């Protein structure tokens, strides 16, 4: 055997040993009974053709490799940003395990979340008992200050009514009557995680705000960051920008920056940081609520407006103009001037873009991810003289597609771009094969497209499972945009080095200075 | 300074083929053409650097720098001279002299041992040994070491005596040429010699520029026998004395070398350039004409004309799609020498307006050509201090500056796009097709949307919008309704105060204003 106790091989080299190779070969020969390699290759090549792309786009029922997650994931993410809040997902427990692993694999942190663990009898008789027991157990076991309830499909299909269930549970003494149990119905078969985020935010706010007698407007502002894989870095950057502006009177509604970034000091923190519970009712009196991601907050902002607040939303404030717009709004709302420090940051960002312009100009990109991110990324690429060619959001709506088109029409560099709302990553494969681009921007799932089509992947969208710690660095505002710019350039230069690395053949351009 | 080196320097400075030198009085000529360095003023590279960059493109030899670490460490592989084979020239060999070596006088022994190790390990056809300030000051005799090592190991060891303190980069270039003349050229006889053998001197194959020209020569059946030093092999340099004609490209640095090749080996030389379309054609014509004069078949001239006609037609076709992207743009050229005019014609042909060109390092002929092409000499300028350049860019409303790397930041501060046309650029612009690369680079530079961000003020600095008639805020109590309006009305204000554009002068304080050492020389 190639494996021995003296020298234990890791699995990668181990299975390359002749014994294993032979075994794998035999398995293929005797049990797979597949088509000959030539035929597999032939069909594989055909699947990269325009003809296949037409068939792929004609697909009606099957979605292959969707670039979106489900509502409860967004709800869990939103609730995690509040102080000592436990997410409670009413439904089957398997779903909840998925949200936890998803968030853990991305943030490399524990992600706490419980479910009402409904089983078949709960499906038949309704999940009330699971809710009653579940809330009591959650309170007893994990001592939260607030339990945020969302739902899985199972509860939604049988039509469990959260409002009535929670009232009944409180009546049965499962938790005290004044204990905060905000809720949101979050069926996965409607919308995506960005909608779940929206529903849960609205649920939490209305839990506190609907009780309030009157709203006494003050000068404070609320900011909702939205669902964002880079939230740890971005929320901290947001706070820094606000401090530079001299704005102290604000509430970030759902601040996950400390939840998903706890230190290793011997203590396990089930809850860490987050928006203070006491700040939520006060936030009603704010002058305005700003959303950093429009498509993460349509209902929440409508609700805030209903309560008499000014509202404004942005598309993931990134890039020069993206950040300009956000800062101008802040300045307008608070009466604070844009400070010299931010002016300098802006100048440095533009300086960096100017320095590297020759390498960025005319590069072509395919982008996928959440609607606001794709919008911001495309807008920034246009600013660098790059050309977005494919902008895809599986959870993008017609309204999003229209907004994207308007953005692309505003620049000659957006002329050749196609917007793909509701399409999936198997569609993206066809696009990359038939109309190739220089760079693919998306999540870790793009690595298969990278391998398949040879398009280098830049990981800037949730989830990022196979690279560590990127979420600790901001991607928003001037400073964050600089990070994004450097990532883009690193990829471009790595590719350039890679293409010129053959000694004596291509390395006449393997330059020390670029 | 060693006497030998002293007389060598006096010799290279008294260059009869140099127009500037001819114009000098006997007394001035004696003083040499070294510009005195001004202590405290910004200065360019040293003689060692000049020697090293001139010789480094000889790709198959080991370049061994006899110095403390930094001379090689800082200059290691800093130019994109491309090689079609060996990568040995990119390896940084140095004796890494340390305090003990210097105090104890171990330099020569260490150098000898270093030569041995390099030869044993890499078997190069030759080792180029560079002297630098430290060994020159402590009196290491690299000539003697090289002689001993060459005898002992049977591999040529070429001493390059250009310690940094001797002077400028340009002097270093010249001393490098001397080293080649004294120790390399003429040491190997070619196996066969044809009437179509030429030398190309002063092209360093940066970004592969020589390769953009070589296919043209190949089609004419012309062989580059001696390449000094673009993509050169040691043997190629050693055989240079058997070429029929020398083309001196774009550089006054090695004019002494070209002249001495003519004197010693009877090879006529001419100055030519592969930048620009007409220039490339002109260079090919002269090359062929001289070859025919020296014994090549006269039909070469016809083939040459046919090639020129074909290539010119091809490049103009290829350039046509770029015309709408660059037409009407104003260009300021800051290069020098022949490039002053050779690129101008092509840019004008594409509808671009050349608002000025520098004529530093340019000959009188160059200047005449500029006047001829631009129809006036009003837009010709010599060396330009950064602040003058800044002003010219601003005042003349240039859309793009084409210059060397050191003016890049002057351009950026003046918010003007910039295209690198000097030695550190990353794209080859030589030959006919090089023009396409150049125009593409211009398109990329001037049409990048980032300039809009760079030029326009931050949104909070934009002037206040015109609100029309100013309506003062309401004050006091309404005489009809008796309603109080205290604080209700506000006049239009903006949170952010508008800042006036800082006057241009303020931006200049950081620039060095030395007239002499601003650009690469």
pLDDT band at B32 (very low <50, low <70, confident <90, very high): low
Residues of A in contact with B76 (CB under 8 A): 512
CATH 3.40.50.1980 fits A345-499, yes or no: yes
Please give the C-alpha separations between residue B329 and each of A323, B22, B332, B399, in angstroms, as whole numbers: 31, 39, 10, 6
**Residue A225: alpha-carbon gap to chain centroid:** 11
Interface of A with B in 315-374 (CB under 8 A): 320-321, 324-325, 327-328, 331-332, 334-338, 343, 346, 350-351, 353-355, 357-358, 360-362
Chain B residue nearest residue A501, CA to CA: B87
pLDDT at A182: 97
Answer whether A476's CB lies under 8 Å from A223's CB.
no
B460 vs A327: CB contact, 8 Å cut-off?
yes
Residues of A in contact with B454 (CB under 8 A): 350, 353-354
A508 vs B83: CB contact, 8 Å cut-off?
yes
Å between A415 CA and nearest CA of chain B: 14
Q: What is the pLDDT of residues A246-258, one digit of tens each?
A: 999 999 999 999 9
Number of Cβ within 10 Å of residue A500's Cβ equals 14
Å between A497 CA and nearest CA of chain B: 13
Task: Write the CB contacts of B54 (distance below 8 Å, at least 6 apart in sequence).
Answer: B172, B173, B176, B177, B204, B229, B253, B254
* Whether the predicted pLDDT of A466 surpasses 60: yes
Q: Out of B85, B441, B458, whose CB is closest to A324?
A: B458
* Whether the predicted pLDDT of B40 surpasses 80: no
Tokens of A104: 């853990």
Query: Range(s) for CATH 3.40.50.1980 in chain B?
Result: 2-33+42-183, 323-455
Please give the C-alpha separations between residue A248 and each of A207, A221, A336, in angstroms, as whole numbers: 25, 10, 11
Say which CATH class A71-210 falls into: alpha beta
Residues of A in contact with B81 (CB under 8 A): none
Environment class of B270 (CB within 10 Å of its CB; exposed 0-12, middle 13-18, buried 19+):
middle
- Element at B159 (helix H, strand E): strand B157-160
Name the residue with tokens 């631009």.
B374
Mutation target vs B (from A323, A508, A511; most B CBs, 10 A cutoff): A508
Answer whether B86's CB lies under 8 Å from A508's CB.
no
Residue-level length of chain A: 514
Tokens of B226: 């001696």
Lowest-confidence range among A488-497, B69-78, B289-298? B69-78
Please give the C-alpha separations between residue B265 and each of B246, B262, B297, in angstroms, as whole numbers: 11, 5, 22
Mutation target vs A (from B83, B88, B495, B501; most A CBs, 10 A cutoff): B495
Q: What is the pLDDT of residues B82-118, one digit of tens each?
A: 888 888 998 999 999 999 999 999 999 999 999 999 9
Average pLDDT value for residue range B41-54: 84
Residues of B in contact with A493 (CB under 8 A): none
Chain A residue nearest residue B424, CA to CA: A513
Listed residue (B54, B52, B65, B76) closest to B131, CA to CA = B65
Please give the C-alpha separations between residue B30 and each of A193, B24, B42, B167, B173, in angstroms, as whole numbers: 82, 9, 26, 16, 20
Chain B residue nearest residue A505, CA to CA: B84
Beta strands B330-334 and B127-130, pairing class: unpaired
Q: Where are the alpha helices (DSSP H) in A144-297?
A: 153-158, 162-171, 193-209, 231-245, 279-282
DSSP codes joined into one string, A324-384: HHHHHHHHHHH-PPPPHHHHHHHHHHHHHHHHTHHHHTT-EEEEESSHHHHHHHHHHHHHH
In chain A, what are the helix, strand and coil shares in percent, each to the nearest 5? 50, 10, 40
Chain B residue nearest residue A332, CA to CA: B495
Å between B84 CA and nearest CA of chain A: 6
What residues of chain B have any CB closer than 8 angstroms to a CB in chain A? Answer: 76-78, 80, 82-87, 207-208, 412, 417, 424, 426, 441, 444-445, 447-451, 453-454, 458-460, 494-497
pLDDT band at B464 (very low <50, low <70, confident <90, very high): low
Q: What is the pLDDT of residues B136-159, one digit of tens each?
A: 999 999 999 999 999 999 999 999
Q: What is the pLDDT of residues A329-382, one digit of tens each?
A: 999 999 999 999 999 999 999 999 998 998 999 999 999 999 999 999 999 999
Å between B343 CA and nearest CA of chain A: 21
Whether A153 is catalytic: yes
Task: Write the CB contacts of B254 (distance below 8 Å, at least 6 apart in sequence).
Answer: B54, B173, B174, B177, B201, B202, B228, B248
- Element at A288 (helix H, strand E): strand A288-291
Tokens of A8: 């234990």
Q: How many angstroms separate the CA atoms of B109 and B145, rounded?
A: 8
Answer whether B136's CB lies under 8 Å from B71's CB.
no
pLDDT band at B488 (very low <50, low <70, confident <90, very high): very low
**Backbone angles phi and psi of B347, in degrees to 5:** -65, -40
DSSP codes joined into one string, B99-119: HHHHHHT-HHHHHHHHHHHHH
Number of Cβ within 10 Å of residue B23's Cβ equals 10
pLDDT band at B393 (very low <50, low <70, confident <90, very high): confident
Residues of B in contact with A382 (CB under 8 A): 449
Chain A residue nearest residue B416, CA to CA: A354
Query: Topology of B2-33+42-183 in CATH?
Result: Rossmann fold (3.40.50)
Query: Range(s) for CATH 3.40.50.12380 in chain B?
Result: 197-319
pTM here is: 0.83
Tokens of B28: 């001035």
Q: What is the four-CA torsion angle of B22, B24, B27, B29, rounded to 10 degrees?
A: -50
**Backbone angles phi and psi of A245, in degrees to 5:** -75, -15
**Residue B9: alpha-carbon gap to chain centroid:** 23
pLDDT band at B423 (very low <50, low <70, confident <90, very high): low
Residues of A in contact with B497 (CB under 8 A): 337
B448 vs A385: CB contact, 8 Å cut-off?
yes
Question: What sign does the dihedral B442-B446-B447-B451 (CA atoms) show?
Answer: positive
* Whether the predicted pLDDT of A479 surpasses 50: yes
Residue A463: is the preceding peptide bond cis (ω within 30°)?
yes
Environment class of B260 (CB within 10 Å of its CB; exposed 0-12, middle 13-18, buried 19+):
buried
B444 vs A358: CB contact, 8 Å cut-off?
yes
Query: How large is the angle between the packed helices B169-183 and B47-55, nearest 10 degrees?
Result: 50
DSSP codes joined into one string, B438-451: HHHHHHHHHT-THH
Q: How many angstroms separate the CA atoms of A497 and B465, rounded?
A: 49
Task: Write the CB contacts of B332 (distance below 8 Å, at least 6 apart in sequence).
Answer: B354, B355, B356, B357, B389, B392, B393, B396, B398, B400, B401, B402, B403, B416
Three-state DSSP string of A389-438: EEEEECCCCHHHHHHHHHHHHCCHHHCCCEEEECCCHHHHHHHHHHCCCC
Query: Range(s) for CATH 3.40.50.1980 in chain A?
Result: 71-210, 221-340, 345-499
Q: Which CATH architecture has domain B197-319?
A: 3-Layer(aba) Sandwich (3.40)
pLDDT at B474: 59
Q: How many angstroms separate the CA atoms of B318 and B316, rounded?
A: 5
- Element at B319 (helix H, strand E): helix B299-319
Tokens of A327: 């800062």
Q: How many angstroms separate the CA atoms of A342 and A340, rounded?
A: 5
Tokens of B292: 């025919």
Task: Write the CB contacts of B474 (distance below 8 Å, at least 6 apart in sequence).
Answer: B485, B488, B489
Rounded to the nearest 5 degrees, what angle is found at the Cα of B290, between the Cα atoms of B285 and B294? 150
Answer whether A200's CB lies under 8 Å from A224's CB.
no
Average pLDDT value for residue range B359-384: 71
Residues of A in contact with B207 (CB under 8 A): 509
Tokens of B63: 């370049």
Answer whether A447's CB lies under 8 Å from A466's CB.
yes
Mutation target vs A (from B408, B413, B448; most A CBs, 10 A cutoff): B448
Q: What is the DSSP letter of B463?
A: P
Q: How many angstroms separate the CA atoms of A133 and A116, rounded?
A: 8
Q: What is the pLDDT of residues A81-128, one digit of tens each?
A: 999 999 999 998 889 999 999 999 999 999 999 999 988 888 888 899
Number of Cβ within 10 Å of residue B305's Cβ equals 14
pLDDT at B472: 55
Mutation target vs A (from B458, B462, B492, B497; most A CBs, 10 A cutoff): B458
Residues of B in contact with A413 (CB under 8 A): 449
Chain A residue nearest residue B85, CA to CA: A504
ipTM above 0.90, yes or no: no
Three-state DSSP string of B243-306: CCEEEEECCCCCHHHHHHHHHHHCCCEEEECCECHHHHHHHHHHHHHHHHHCCCCCHHHHHHHH
pLDDT at B380: 73
pLDDT band at B396 (very low <50, low <70, confident <90, very high): confident
Residues of A in contact with B77 (CB under 8 A): 512
Active-site residue, selected from the candidate residues A153, A181, A256, A484: A153
Whether A175 is catalytic: no
Q: What is the pLDDT of residues A206-265, one digit of tens each?
A: 999 998 888 999 999 999 999 999 999 999 999 999 999 999 999 999 999 999 999 988
Q: What is the four-CA torsion angle of B334, B336, B338, B339, rounded to 10 degrees?
A: -30
* Whether the predicted pLDDT of B514 surpasses 70: no
Listed residue (A145, A149, A144) closest to A163, CA to CA = A149
pLDDT band at A485 (very low <50, low <70, confident <90, very high): very high
Query: Topology of B323-455 in CATH?
Result: Rossmann fold (3.40.50)
**CATH number attached to the domain at A221-340:** 3.40.50.1980
């Amino acid at each position: 055997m190639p494996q021995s106790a003296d020298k234990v091989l890791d699995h990668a080299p181990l299975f390359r040993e002749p014994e294993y190779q032979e075994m794998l070969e035999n398995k293929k020969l005797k049990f797979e009974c597949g088509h000959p390699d030539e035929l597999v290759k032939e069909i594989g090549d055909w699947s990269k053709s325009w003809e296949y792309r037409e068939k792929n786009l004609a697909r009606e029922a099957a979605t292959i490799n969707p670039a979106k997650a489900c509502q409860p994931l967004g709800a869990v993410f939103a609730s995690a940003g509040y102080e000592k809040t436990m997410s409670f997902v009413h439904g089957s427990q398997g779903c909840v395990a998925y949200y936890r692993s998803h968030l853990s694999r991305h943030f490399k942190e524990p992600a706490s979340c419980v479910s009402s663990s409904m089983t078949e009898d709960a499906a038949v008789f309704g999940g009330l008992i699971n809710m009653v027991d579940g809330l009591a157990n959650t309170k007893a076991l994990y001592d939260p200050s607030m339990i945020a309830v969302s739902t899985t499909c199972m509860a939604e299909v049988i039509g469990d009514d959260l409002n009535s269930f929670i009232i009944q549970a409180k009546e049965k003494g499962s938790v005290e009557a004044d204990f905060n149990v905000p809720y949101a119905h979050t069926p996965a078969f409607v919308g995506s995680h960005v909608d779940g985020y929206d529903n849960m935010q609205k649920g939490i706010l209305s839990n506190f705000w609907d009780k309030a007698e009157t709203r006494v407007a003050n000068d404070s502002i609320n900011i909702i960051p939205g669902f964002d894989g880079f939230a740890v870095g971005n929320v901290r950057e947001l706070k820094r920008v606000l401090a530079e502006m001299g704005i102290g009177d604000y509430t970030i509604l759902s601040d996950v920056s400390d939840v998903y970034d706890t230190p290793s000091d011997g203590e396990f923190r089930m809850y860490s940081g987050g928006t203070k519970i006491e700040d939520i009712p006060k936030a009603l009196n704010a002058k305005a609520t700003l959303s950093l991601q429009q498509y993460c907050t349509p209902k929440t902002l409508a609700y805030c407006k209903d309560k008499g607040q000014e509202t404004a939303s942005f598309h993931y404030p990134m890039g020069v103009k993206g950040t300009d717009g956000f800062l101008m709004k802040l300045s307008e709302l608070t009466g604070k001037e844009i400070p010299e420090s931010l002016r300098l940051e802006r100048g440095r960002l533009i300086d960096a873009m100017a320095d590297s312009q020759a390498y960025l100009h005319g590069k072509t990109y395919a982008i996928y991810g959440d609607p606001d991110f794709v919008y911001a990324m495309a807008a920034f690429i246009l600013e660098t003289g790059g050309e977005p060619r494919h902008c895809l959001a599986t959870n993008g709506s017609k309204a999003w597609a229209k907004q994207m088109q308007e953005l692309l029409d505003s620049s000659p560099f957006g002329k050749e771009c196609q917007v793909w709302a509701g399409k999936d990553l198997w569609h993206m494969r066809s696009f990359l094969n038939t109309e190739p681009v220089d760079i693919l921007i998306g999540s870790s799932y793009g690595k298969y497209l990278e391998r398949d089509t040879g398009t280098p992947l830049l990981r800037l969208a949730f989830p990022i499972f196979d690279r560590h710690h990127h979420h600790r660095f901001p991607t928003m505002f001037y400073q964050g945009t600089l990070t994004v710019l450097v990532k883009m350039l690193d990829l471009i230069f790595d590719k350039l080095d890679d293409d010129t690395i053959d000694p004596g053949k291509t390395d006449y351009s393997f330059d020390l200075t670029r | 300074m060693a006497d030998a080196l002293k007389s060598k320097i006096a010799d290279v400075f008294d260059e009869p083929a140099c127009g500037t030198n001819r114009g000098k009085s006997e007394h001035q000529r004696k003083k040499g053409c070294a510009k005195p360095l001004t202590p405290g003023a910004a200065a360019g590279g040293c003689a060692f650097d000049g020697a090293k960059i001139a010789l480094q493109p000889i790709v198959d030899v080991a370049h061994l720098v006899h110095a403390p670490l930094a001379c090689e460490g800082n200059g290691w592989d800093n130019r994109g001279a491309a090689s079609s084979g060996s990568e040995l020239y990119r390896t940084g060999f140095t004796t890494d002299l340390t305090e003990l070596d210097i105090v104890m006088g171990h330099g020569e022994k260490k150098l000898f041992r270093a030569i041995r190790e390099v030869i044993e390990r890499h078997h190069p056809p030759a080792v180029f040994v560079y002297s630098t300030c430290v060994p020159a000051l402590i009196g290491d005799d690299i000539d003697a070491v090289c002689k001993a090592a060459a005898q002992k190991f049977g591999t040529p060891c070429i001493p390059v005596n250009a310690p940094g303190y001797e002077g400028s980069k340009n002097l270093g270039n010249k001393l490098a040429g001397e080293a080649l003349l004294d120790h390399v050229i003429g040491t190997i006889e070619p196996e066969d010699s044809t009437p179509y053998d030429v030398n190309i001197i002063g092209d360093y194959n940066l970004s592969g520029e020589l390769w953009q020209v070589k296919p043209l020569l190949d089609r004419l059946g012309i062989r580059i026998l001696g390449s000094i030093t673009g993509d050169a092999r040691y043997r190629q340099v050693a055989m240079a004395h058997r070429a029929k004609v020398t083309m001196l490209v774009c550089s006054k640095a090695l004019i002494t070398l070209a002249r001495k090749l003519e004197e010693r080996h009877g090879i006529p030389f001419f100055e030519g350039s592969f930048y620009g379309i007409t220039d490339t054609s002109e260079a090919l014509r002269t090359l062929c004409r001289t070859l025919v004069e020296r014994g090549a078949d006269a039909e070469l001239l016809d083939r040459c004309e046919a090639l020129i006609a074909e290539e010119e037609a091809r490049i103009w076709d290829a350039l046509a799609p770029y015309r709408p992207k660059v037409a009407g743009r104003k260009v300021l050229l800051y290069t020098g020498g022949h490039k002053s005019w050779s690129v101008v014609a092509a840019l004008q042909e594409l509808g671009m307006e050349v608002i000025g060109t520098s004529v530093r390092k340019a000959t009188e002929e160059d200047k005449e050509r500029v006047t001829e092409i631009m129809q006036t000499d009003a837009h010709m300028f010599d060396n330009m201090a950064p602040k003058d350049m800044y002003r010219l860019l601003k005042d003349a409303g240039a859309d793009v500056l084409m210059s060397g790397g050191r003016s890049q930041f002057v351009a950026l501060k003046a918010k003007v796009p910039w295209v690198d046309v000097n030695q550190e650029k990353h794209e080859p612009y030589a030959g006919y097709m090089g023009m396409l690369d150049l125009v593409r680079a211009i398109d990329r530079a001037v049409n990048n949307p980032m300039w809009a961000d760079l030029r326009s003020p931050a949104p909070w600095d934009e002037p206040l919008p015109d609100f029309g008639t100013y309506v003062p805020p309401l004050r006091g109590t309404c005489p009809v309704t008796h309603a109080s309006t205290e604080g209700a009305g506000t006049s239009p204000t903006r949170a952010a105060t508008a800042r006036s554009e800082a006057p241009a002068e303020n931006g200049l304080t950081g620039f060095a204003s030395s007239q002499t050492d601003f650009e690469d020389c």
